[in-house]
Structure 1
Amino acid sequence: MALYAIADLHLASSGEKPMDIFGEKWSNHHEKIKDNWLGKITEEDTVLIAGDISWSMKMEHGIEDLEYINKLPGKKFFVRGNHDYWWTSINKLNSMFEGMKFIQNNFFTYGDYAVCGSRGWILKNNPKFNEHDQKIYDRELIRLKLSLDTAVKAGYEKIMVMIHYPPIVPNQLDNEFTQLFEEYGVEKVIYGHLHGWGLANVFEGEHNGVEYILTSCDYIHFNPIKIME
Structure 2
Amino acid sequence: MALYAISDLHLASTGEKPMDIFGEKWSNHDEKIKENWIRVVKDEDTVLVAGDISWSMNMENGKADLEFINNLPGRKIFVRGNHDYWWTGITKLNSMFQRMEFIQNNFFVYEDYAICGSRGWILKNNPKFNSHNKKIYDRELIRLRFSIDAAIKSGFKKIICMIHYPPIFPNMQENEFLEMFKEYKVDKVIYGHLHGGGLLNIFEGEKDGVEYILTSCDYIDFTPIKILD
Give the TM-score normalised by structure 2.
Answer: 0.99
Partner of 1:28: 28
Secondary structure of the 2:165 match is coil
The alignment yields a C-alpha RMSD, in angstroms, of 0.6
The answer to whether structure 1 residue 112 and structure 2 residue 112 are counterparts is yes
Structure 1 moving runs of 4+ over 3 Å: none
- Give 3-state SS (helix, strand or coil) of 1:98's partner: coil
Q: Counterpart in 2 of 1:42?
A: 42
Q: Which amino acid aligns with 1:109?
A: V
Q: Structure 1 residue 200: deviation in Å?
A: 1.7
Q: 1:159 aligns to what?
A: 159
Shift of the alpha carbon at 1:201? 1.4
For 1:217, give the aligned amino acid. Answer: C
Letter in 2 for 1:223: T
- Give the structure 1 partner of residue 138 of structure 2: 138
The 2-side partners of 1:125 and 1:148 are apart by 25
Aligned to 2:83, the other structure's residue is in SS state coil
**One-letter code of the match for 1:164?**
H
| 1:16 aligned partner, one-letter code | E
Deviation (angstroms), 1:173: 3.3
1:8-49 per-residue CA deviation (whole Å, 9 max, x = no partner) reads 000000111000000001000000011000111111000000
Q: Distance in 2 between matches of 1:185 and 1:139?
A: 21
CA contact (8 A) 1:125 1:172 kept: no
Amino acid aligned to 2:101: K
Give the SS at the match of 2:11: coil
Is the 1:33–1:223 Cα contact (8 Å) retained in structure 2? yes
In 2, distance between residues paired with 1:173 and 1:156? 29
Give the aligned residue type for 2:124.
Answer: K
1:174 is displaced (CA, Å) by 1.6
Paired residue total: 229
- 1:172 positional shift: 3.9
| Structure 1 residues without counterparts, runs of 5 or longer | none
Letter in 1 for 2:163: I
1:70 maps to a residue whose letter is: N
Within-5 A mapping of 1:1-229: 1-229=1-229
Q: In 2, Cα distance between the equivalents of 1:207 and 1:185? A: 11
User: Which amino acid is 1:204 matched to?
Assistant: E
CA distance in 2, matches of 1:200, 1:133: 24
Secondary structure class of the residue paired with 2:120: coil
- Identify the range of structure 1 (197-206 vs 84-93) with the bigger mean alpha-carbon deviation: 197-206
> Take 1:12 and 1:194, find their aligned partners in 2: how far apart are those partners?
19
Q: TM-score, normalised by structure 1?
A: 0.99
